[in-house]
Amino acid sequence: MQKNGKKLKFLIPKGSLQETVESLIKTAGYKYYLDSRGYRPTINDPEIDMKMLRPQEIPNYLIGENESDLGITGIDWVRETRMTADVEMLLDLNAGKVKLVFAIPQSCDKCNSFEDFVDEFVKSGRELRISTEYINTTLDFIMKSKNYKKHFGTKKPKVITPWITYGDNDKVKIFLSFGATEAKPPEEVDAIVDNTETGTTLKANGLKIVDVIDTSSAVLIGNKASLKDPWKAEKIKDIMTLLQGVVDARQKLHVFFNIRDDDLPRILDKLPALKNPTVAKLTGKGSEGWSAINTVIPREDFLKMIPIFRKYAQGLVVFEPRQILPLERFKNESE
């Protein structure tokens, strides 16, 4: 039942993260529907008002009492907008993983790093032009470069957008991209900074990655003003519990098996478990001296446990849990 008509405003990303986030929301237990041309999904919780925006915009709309309360975006955009968007990091959703890379034309066979690329352009006397949606991140990356400092000292590259131009180094220019960044070299620019999951699109456009600047994944972020509101803070904990349950479940396996009592100490000593495994005596004719084990183990440990299961276990059943809810982690303030 809706409490006092209150609503929590929740922003989710449109674009490359959209499918990943929709899957998380549905697996968390929400019934989710979005019209193919709409931007306002509906879910089976009347206390949540959901809206879809581009991920790079979301952090800036979580500032202040009258703005949105909660959002999902890439951590790359949280870092990129850090100077304007002071948001609270709530959960790493461990999904939508990408790399932020510096990429150049494959024809530049002498260059295997940004350091090489800067040297090559300085030697040739040409301007170095870079296209990116990540202006602040690219500036940080360039200003930390050893060879950039050697040639240009503390001069900042010239940043060019439709609204403002700033920076004092005309030899290195950063152009704000509005998408299709990988299509711009070599005519409009000489290199790009962009995100990529596999690098396939970059390669298809004649580019090669020479530096990985950062890595990113989807994160749940909160409006700091909203987190001070008691009702909103508790509602956000409900959402965090459900989403964290999905994240944890994707890293675990639920296993059941029978084992002779004589072998229990051997397998319990080697069995990685979320908590202490449940051990129950089997009952019925012919089950004397046998027990059943029910436990949750890290997915990454399953393969190395196979030889042990083969040696001691019988009737092994493996489930992929939908959620493992960390209820003790998000207790109510009154508890």
Is the domain defined by 8-95+218-249 classed in CATH 3.40.190.10? yes
The pLDDT value recorded for residue 269 is 84
So what's the pLDDT on residue 144? 96
> What's the pLDDT score for residue 1?
46
Please give the pLDDT value at position 3: 52
d(CA 147, CA 155): 13
Q: Edge-to-edge strand order for the sheet containing 88-92?
A: 48-53, 8-13, 70-74, 218-222, 88-92
Contact 141, 149 (CB under 8 A): no
**Cβ within 8 Å of residue 196, ≥6 positions away:** 98, 99, 101, 103, 202, 209
Write down the pLDDT at residue 83: 86
> Which strands sit side by side in the sheet containing 169-176, from one edge to the other?
165-166, 157-160, 169-176, 128-132, 191-196, 98-105, 207-216
CATH of domain 252-327: 3.30.70.120
Class of domain 98-216: alpha beta
Beta strands 157-160 and 278-281, pairing class: unpaired
Q: Which portions of the chain are predicted below pLDDT 70?
A: 1-4, 274, 331-335
Fold agreement (8-95+218-249, 252-327): no
Nearest residue to 135 via CA among 111, 113, 161, 153: 161
Domain boundaries, the chain: 8-95+218-249, 98-216, 252-327
What pLDDT is stored for residue 330 in this prediction? 74
